[in-house]
Structure 1
Amino acid sequence: MADEVQQRAGVGVLVCDPAGPPVATVADALDLIGAAFLGAEVVAVPASRLDADFFSLGTRFAGEVMQKFVNYRLRLVVVGDISAHLAASAALRALVHESNRADHVWFVPDLDALDARLTAAPR
């Protein structure tokens, strides 16, 4: 499957292929943002595609990527199991908790959980 824009819970979502290229630089994130302009409001990126630096907050990579999505008024959703990363970092646990309380960046275990969040989210 290639990255594709899907309608999920009435929202255009760029669902990224788990086998797609890694997101290891801000330029890689900007490529996803560009692809989203084909009709998506949300970009769902598998956690497996994110470089390990994304989950190591000291690198500031996650903050740079998240800020790009906010600047372009797109919602970023990290999809998948990140429990190993959470176990290793209290700061990451706090970031995920706060992000999931807000509306711009979410961390969800799977696409079904994303659908539930989109259904409940204000438009």
Structure 2
Amino acid sequence: MKFQLVQNSDPGVIECIAGITDVRDSMELAYACSDADTDLLLIHAGALPSEFFQLPTGFAGEFVQRLVNFRLRTAAVFDPDGYYPERFREFLLEARRHPQFRAFDSQPDALAWLAASAVQSGAA
């Protein structure tokens, strides 16, 4: 899995850009956030396996639930022009309002939400 600390980000944000293959990778992301002393996570759609986009596999639900259980505030960036199955598009609509795992069309919007949510929680 490939992740890094977002440069020039205050508060700190861990960015996952590649290599999520299993729901248990959520634990590695939680460790990376803990090591960076942050609870803010940015995930790019390209880092997610194809099973994430097929809701009947259960991958998306279990993976997101684990991130929520680890108390990570996660912004996920999905290509607004990308092809996604209809059920997954419904999932994205709901995820645009979720308090801990939120879907975005762009990285700047995702980072702005993470920064604002950190301020609201008193983390910044």
Which stretches of structure 1, 4 residues or longer, exceed 6 Å deviation after superposition? Answer: none
Post-superposition shift, 1:50? 0.2
**Residues 78-105 of structure 1, C-alpha deviations (whole Å, 9 max, x = no match):** 22316311xx22x222221122112111
Aligned residue pair count: 115
In the superposition, the TM-score normalised over structure 1's length comes to 0.80
Q: Alpha-carbon deviation of 1:51?
A: 0.3
Instruction: Give CA deviations for 1:103-122 in whole Å, capped at 9, x if unaligned.
Output: 11111123211133235443
Which structure 1 residue ranges, 5 or more long, are not aligned?
none
Structure 2 residue ranges without an equivalent (≥5): none
Q: What are the Cα deviations for residues 57-96 of structure 1, in whole angstroms up to 9, with x where unaligned?
A: 00000011011111110022222316311xx22x222221
CA distance in 1, matches of 2:101, 2:13: 13
The one of 19, 28, 31 aligned to 2:28: 31
Q: Which moved more, 1:60-69 or 1:40-49?
A: 40-49
Read off the aligned partner of 2:83 and give its amino acid letter: A
Residue 117 of structure 1 is matched in structure 2 by 113
TM-score norm. by structure 2 comes to 0.79
| Alignment partner of 2:76 out of 69, 75, 78 | 78
Identity %: 27
One-letter code aligned to 2:14: L
2:41 to 36, 40, 43: 43
| Structure 1 equivalent of residue 56 of structure 2 | 58
Alpha-carbon spacing, 1:112–1:84, altered in 2? closer, same or farther (3 Å):
same
CA contact (8 A) 1:5 1:40 kept: no
RMSD: 2.0
Aligned-partner Cα distance in 2 for 1:119–1:78: 14
Query: Partner of 1:5 in structure 2?
Result: 5
